[in-house]
């Protein structure tokens, strides 16, 4: 077995109640797919029958680490779930989370585990070094993610060395957009993985690292040397989320009063913050400033993931306003604030922090219910909905109390909540009238929430991502350039179609390779020299000394095309890549993109992207020579 | 006065970088349970405490060792365990009030400051671990001891 891998995975069949150990595939397969997303996708493609639906017992949740997970390389803490996507129903699902789960899993003796089948009564999976059990979780069913985590930690006698991942009520009720919370700060939030876990009646996964064993890498000193140089490069000013001065962590720096508020607009562009269902981009800068000005007074404490010097995760105690004293446990960037508060015009900072945290507690990725809720707010403001339709709730911009009540109704599929419970596209059709004109969605579900009409490359990336809307193809229009791919600066014209398909294609190859090796994307995104650091780290860990940067990008390309094959076998067509909510396609009424319609250019950009990927530009079908070059003949027999 | 590893728990984010790096350097393996430095995590309290040998002036471990395997180098200040003399009786583990000695294999091991260039410090951008003379931040060091006492049993 190459270094960096344990060489063992678990298969947990919840229908049978059986737990078995299996080996990893042979070296040639490992080198082709490496780990994480790639290896998980290869396994899923090989064993998932075509006719299976996402919430049926046969669907898999494949948790997979990479060869660098757990190692001294910066932020080497990734675990990826691969499954049939619970939101789209016909694409791959890919969901990443960090924290301690992946490293602890490897110390407990496994590279990953496959969940399949469905239990009759609620269970949780308890993984310890040398002992793996399914335990009764009836007492945890119905608890929110934070309560369930606390109860489980108490139950297993945690002393700070246990990772607990749980679903909330949203996952138990198998709702669109439900997530798996990984120690409350880190969330597997894409592809409705929470609903799939709920359909299997598995409430939680507990990984206890105590008594675990260290693992082997091929060349420790070389790995350490690379790790240290990589960390230094990650502090380079080009990187979007570098540490503040004197080692201030990302989370603390974001809310540092000395950090001029205007700086927080520089990287993302002034008008990309998602506010009021994207109805008026001019409101974007003001909302952002108000939240941030309030939040700098909150008590922010960084809580880092395993081996990470960024510490983008943090606890925040609200220190003033109606939510004074509330402690929220949050991660990373602004997406969740925009999805749960910005979209409905909530600009009370404490309320915004509360709503983000409440989404986590209920077990929701905020963007999916957030987009459905914000659609309802806009329809209400426009008179399309009245109190009679909304169970008496007054859905006026900024009403956070109504948003909480509405979310509770969605979780229970109760009254008006049931209208919104199956994603924003479905909600628009159910509300009827002009509602489909206002809806934000990509492939029926929601995206990583910012107003990407101010960054067309990134929006294109959300539309063509093979795992449904997610961060698979960032482009170079917002937040961070990608110097290793020939983009030392952000693009000059983010609101245009020129060169977007190419930037999206190139950044996707890099990102999907990085999704395989076991690191957090924040350790690699826009870091100068990252491709070479990754090559050296993989060589040092596994012993693949002749691994090249081209081979890295080829792993990315292989995954992109294998995702396409997986999706097309399940009926996906070009139409699905153009299945985008009208609000995103239509020209904004204000802001810098005023009058320019992304929708007019989307079909052309999609065609251009298909050509770059080596697919037929009209049908999106991978060309025979592409399949041959990438070595996917076995995976694509009937295309 | 010699330089030692100084800990400021108020700066620690609990990421365990110090442990995995130490394991790689000292054991040649990727792990967190065979490192010389340990970070005790208290996620509920959001409190994280790296624990490592203070290279005490009058170490508790030295008189506890029946085979005289532990000695303090008066020049460098480093307290070391002679693996050849150590019988693995673990009395030093009990004697150290700070839990700074461990026994991942047959003999006891502890921090030796990597010969004057401690690797963990290089990976701690938060500056929760620094390499300095204790006089500079002796107050912080006392705080650590106070916290350790308050927490009681740590292992």
Q: What is the DSSP string of A132-155?
A: EEEEE-GGGTT--HHHHHHHHHHH
Whether A305 and chain B come into contact, CB under 8 Å, resolves to yes
Per-residue 3-state assignment (H helix, E strand, C coil) for A357-380:
HHHHHHCECCHHHHHHHHHHHHHH
By C-alpha distance, which of B55, B52, B34 is closest to B108?
B34
Q: Which residues partner with B4 through β-bridges?
A: B132
Over residues B16-27, the mean pLDDT reads 97
pLDDT of residue B154 exceeding 50, the answer is no
A238 near B CB under 8 A? no
Which residue out of A71, A72, A154 would a mutagenesis test of the B interface target, given it has the greatest number of B Cβ atoms within 10 Å? Answer: A72
pLDDT attached to residue A271: 78
CB contact under 8 A, B33 and A214: yes
Q: What percent of chain B has pLDDT over 70?
A: 86
Q: Is A215 on the interface with B (CB under 8 A)?
A: yes
Q: What are phi and psi of A523, to 5 degrees?
A: -85, -10
Nearest CA in chain A to B16: A307
Rg of chain B (C-alpha set):
15
Residues of chain B contacting residue A243, judged by C-beta atoms under 8 Å apart:
125
CA–CA dist A168, A198 (Å, integer): 9
Shortest CA distance to A175 belongs to which of A365, A318, A348? A365
A526 close to A481: Cβ distance less than 8 angstroms = yes
Do A302 and A249 contact (CB within 8 A), yes or no?
Answer: yes
Q: Tell me, yes or no, if A316 comes closer than 8 A to chain B by beta carbon.
A: no
Quote the tokens at residue B127: 């500056």
What is the block-wise mean pLDDT of chain A (639 residues), using blocks of 10 residues? 97 98 97 98 97 98 98 97 98 98 98 98 96 98 98 94 97 98 96 98 97 96 97 78 62 71 58 92 90 90 91 93 96 89 97 97 97 98 97 98 98 98 98 98 96 95 98 92 94 94 98 98 93 98 97 98 97 97 96 94 98 97 96 84
3-state percent breakdown (helix, strand, coil) of chain A, nearest 5: 40, 15, 45
Q: How far apart are CA A520 and CA A532, in angstroms?
A: 16
What residues have CB less than 8 Å from B153, skipping those under 6 apart?
Answer: none
Does B25 contact A at CB distance below 8 Å? yes
Residue A226 backbone phi and psi in degrees, to 5: -60, -45
Q: Is A214 on the interface with B (CB under 8 A)?
A: yes
- The complex's ipTM works out to 0.93
Q: Do residues B50 and B66 make contact, with C-beta atoms less than 8 angstroms apart?
A: no
Closest Cα in chain A to B47: A303
Q: Does A261 touch chain B (CB under 8 A)?
A: no
Residues 6+ apart with CB under 8 A from A585: A597, A598, A599, A602
How far is C-alpha B8 from the chain's CA centre? Answer: 13
Average pLDDT over residues B101-111: 95
B32 interfaces chain A, CB cutoff of 8 Å: yes
Inter-chain residue contact B16 with A212, CB threshold 8 Å:
no
Q: Which residue of B has its CA nearest to A541?
A: B30
pLDDT at B153: 44
Q: Residues 169 to 198 of A: which have CB under 8 A from any B CB?
A: 183
Q: Is the Cβ pair A309, B42 closer than 8 Å?
A: no
Gap between the Cα atoms of A518 and A102, Å rounded? 8
* 8 Å CB contact of A72 and B31: no
At residue A92's C-alpha, the angle toward residues A494 and A7, to 5°, is 115
- Asked if the Cβ–Cβ distance from A72 to B126 is below 8 Å, we say no
- C-beta separation of A453 from A278 below 8 A: yes
pTM score, whole prediction = 0.96
Contact B17/A307, CB-based, under 8 Å? yes
**Which 98-117 residues of chain B touch chain A by CB within 8 A?**
none
Q: 């060309």: which residue's tokens?
A: A623
CA dist., res. B22 & res. B15, Å (int): 13
Per-residue DSSP letter, A620: -
Asked if B119 has any chain A CB less than 8 Å from its own CB, the reply is yes
CA distance A105 to chain B (A): 12
pLDDT for the residue numbered B134: 78
Residues 6+ apart with CB under 8 A from B79: B53, B55, B56, B59, B61, B62, B70, B71, B72, B73, B110
CB contact under 8 A, B17 and A160: no
Q: Tell me which of B8, B9, B13, B39 to substitute to probe the interface with A (most A C-beta atoms closer than 10 Å).
A: B13
Tokens of A309: 């010097």
DSSP readout, B77-116? Answer: --EEE-TTT-----HHHHH-TT---B-SSSS-B---GGGG
Strands A202-208 and A123-128, bridge-based pairing? parallel
Residue A227 tokens, joined: 């790790």
CA of B12 vs chain A CAs: smallest distance (Å): 9
- The H or E element spanning position A113 is strand A112-116
How far apart CA B88 and CA B95 sit, in angstroms, is 14
Candidates A30, A26, A28, A23; CA nearest to A8 is A23
- Residues A342 and A335: their CA atoms lie apart, in Å, by 9
For residue A61, list its beta bridge partners: A115
Cβ count near A193 (within 10 Å): 31
How many contacts does A have with B, using Cβ atoms within 8 A? 99
What is the rounded end-to-end Cα distance, in angstroms, of chain A?
Answer: 34
Q: Taking a C-beta distance cutoff of 8 angstroms, is the pair A452, A460 a contact?
A: no
Length of chain B: 155
Query: pLDDT at position B151, please?
Result: 63
Both tokens of A510, joined, read: 């890099």
Q: Nearest residue on chain B to A150, judged by CA atoms?
A: B44
Pairing outcome for strands A8-13 and A112-116 = parallel
Residue A235 has a pLDDT of 81
- Token pair 């979209």: residue: A343
Q: What are phi and psi of A138, to 5 degrees?
A: -60, -40
Across the interface, whether the CB atoms of A303 and B46 are under 8 A apart is answered yes
Contact (CB<8Å) B29/A160: no
Q: H-helix or E-strand containing B25? A: helix B17-27
β-sheet bridge partners, residue A202: A123
Give the pLDDT score at A333: 77
C-alpha span between A141 and A292 (Å, rounded):
36
Listing DSSP states for A208-244 in one string gives E-TT---B--S-HHHHHHHHHHHHHHTTSTTSTT---
> Is A288 an 8 Å CB contact of chain B?
no
Residues A229, A77: Cα–Cα separation, whole Å: 18
What tokens appear for A259 in the block?
A: 């950090």
- Decide if pLDDT at B8 tops 90: no
pLDDT value of residue A257: 72
Could you give the angle at which helices A220-233 and A530-542 cross, rounded to 10 degrees? 160
For B31, which of A160, A214, A231 is closest by C-beta distance?
Answer: A214
pLDDT tens per residue across span B48-89: 999 999 999 999 999 999 999 999 999 999 999 999 999 999
For chain B, how far is it from start to end, CA to CA, in angstroms? 30
pLDDT value at residue A139? 98
Q: Do B13 and A302 touch (CB under 8 A)?
A: yes
CB contact under 8 A, A247 and B127: yes
* CB-CB contact of A429 with A446 (8 Å): no
Q: From CA A267, how far away is CA A499, in angstroms rounded?
A: 20
Instruction: Return the structure tokens found at A363.
Output: 């077990």
Chain A residues closer than 8 Å to B21 by CB: 72, 224, 227
Closest CA to A233 of A577, A531, A561, A605: A531
- What mean pLDDT value characterizes chain B? 89
3-class SS at B123?
A: coil
Query: Among all chains, which residue has been given the structure tokens 């049978």?
Result: A16
pLDDT of residue A242: 56
């Amino acid at each position: 077995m190459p270094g960096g891998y344990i060489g063992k995975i678990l298969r947990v069949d919840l229908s049978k109640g059986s737990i078995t150990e299996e080996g990893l595939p042979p070296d040639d397969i490992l080198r082709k797919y490496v780990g994480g997303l790639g290896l998980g996708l290869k396994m899923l493609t090989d064993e998932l029958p075509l006719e299976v639906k996402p919430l049926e017992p046969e669907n898999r949740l494949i948790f997979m680490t990479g060869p660098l997970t757990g190692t001294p390389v910066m932020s080497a803490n990734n675990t990826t779930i691969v499954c049939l996507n619970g939101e789209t129903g016909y694409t791959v699902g890919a969901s990443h989370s960090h924290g301690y789960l992946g490293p602890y899993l490897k110390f407990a003796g496994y590279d990953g585990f496959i969940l399949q089948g469905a239990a009759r009564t609620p269970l949780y999976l308890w993984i310890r070094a040398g002992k793996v059990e399914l335990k009764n979780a009836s007492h945890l069913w119905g608890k929110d993610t934070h309560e369930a985590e606390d109860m489980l930690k108490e139950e297993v006698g945690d002393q700070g060395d246990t990772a607990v991942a749980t679903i909330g009520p949203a996952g138990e009720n198998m709702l669109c957009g439900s997530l798996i919370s990984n120690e409350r700060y880190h969330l597997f939030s894409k592809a409705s993985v929470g609903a799939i876990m709920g359909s299997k009646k598995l409430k939680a996964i507990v990984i206890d690292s105590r008594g675990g064993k260290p693992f082997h890498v091929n060349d420790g000193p070389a790995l350490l040397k690379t790790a240290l140089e990589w960390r230094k490069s990650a502090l380079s000013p080009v990187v979007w989320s570098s540490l503040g001065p004197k080692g201030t962590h990302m989370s603390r720096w974001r809310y540092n009063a000395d950090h001029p508020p205007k700086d927080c607009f520089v990287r993302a562009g002034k008008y990309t913050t998602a506010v009021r269902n994207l109805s008026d981009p001019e409101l974007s800068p003001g909302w952002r400033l108000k939240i941030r000005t309030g939040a700098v007074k909150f008590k922010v404490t960084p809580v880092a993931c395993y081996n990470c010097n960024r510490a983008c995760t943090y606890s925040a105690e609200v220190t003033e306003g109606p939510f004074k004293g509330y402690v929220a446990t949050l991660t990373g960037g602004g997406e969740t604030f925009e999805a749960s508060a910005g979209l409905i015009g909530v600009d009370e900072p404490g309320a915004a922090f509360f709503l983000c945290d409440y989404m986590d507690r209920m077990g929701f990725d905020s963007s999916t219910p957030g987009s459905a809720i914000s659609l309802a707010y806009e329809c209400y403001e426009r008179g399309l909905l009245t109190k009679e339709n909304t169970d008496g709730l007054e859905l006026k911009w900024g009403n956070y109390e109504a948003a909480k009540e509405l979310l509770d109704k969605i979780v229970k599929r109760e009254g008006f909540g049931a209208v919104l419970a199956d994603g924003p596209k479905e909600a628009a059709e159910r509300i009827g009238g002009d509602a489909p004109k206002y809806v934000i969605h990509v492939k029926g579900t929601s995206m990583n929430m910012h107003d990407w009409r101010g960054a067309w490359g990134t929006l294109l990336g959300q539309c063509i991502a093979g795992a449904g809307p997610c961060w698979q193809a960032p482009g170079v229009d917002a937040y961070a350039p990608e110097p290793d791919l020939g983009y030392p600066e952000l693009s000059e014209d983010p609101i245009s179609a020129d060169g977007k398909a190419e930037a999206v294609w190139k950044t996707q190859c890099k990102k999907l390779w990085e999704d395989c090796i076991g690191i957090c994307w924040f350790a690699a995104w826009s870091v100068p020299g990252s491709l070479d650091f990754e090559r050296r780290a993989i060589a040092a860990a596994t012993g693949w000394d002749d691994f090249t940067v081209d081979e890295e990008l080829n792993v990315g390309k292989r995954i992109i095309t294998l995702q396409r094959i997986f999706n097309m076998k399940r009926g996906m067509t070009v139409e699905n890549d153009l299945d985008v909510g009208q609000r995103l396609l239509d020209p904004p009424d204000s802001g810098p993109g005023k009058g320019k319609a992304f929708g007019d250019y989307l079909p052309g950009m999609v065609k251009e992207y298909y050509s770059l990927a080596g697919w037929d530009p009209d049908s999106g079908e991978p060309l025979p020579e592409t399949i041959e070059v990438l070595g996917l003949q076995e995976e694509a027999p009937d295309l | 006065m010699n330089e030692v590893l100084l800990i400021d728990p108020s700066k620690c984010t609990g990421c365990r970088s110090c442990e995995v790096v130490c394991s790689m350097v000292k054991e040649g393996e990727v792990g967190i349970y065979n490192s010389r430095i340990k970070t005790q995590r208290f996620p509920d309290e959001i409190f994280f405490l790296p624990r490592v040998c203070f290279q005490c002036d009058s170490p508790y471990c030295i008189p506890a060792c029946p085979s005289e395997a532990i000695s303090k180098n008066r020049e460098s200040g480093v307290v070391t365990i002679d693996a050849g003399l150590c019988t693995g009786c673990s009395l030093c583990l009990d004697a150290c009030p700070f839990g700074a000695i461990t026994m991942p294999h047959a003999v006891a091991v502890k921090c030796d400051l990597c010969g004057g260039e401690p690797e963990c410090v290089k990976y701690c951008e938060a500056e929760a671990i620094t390499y300095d003379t204790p006089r500079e931040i002796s107050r912080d060091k006392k705080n650590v001891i106070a916290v350790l006492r308050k927490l009681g049993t740590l292992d």
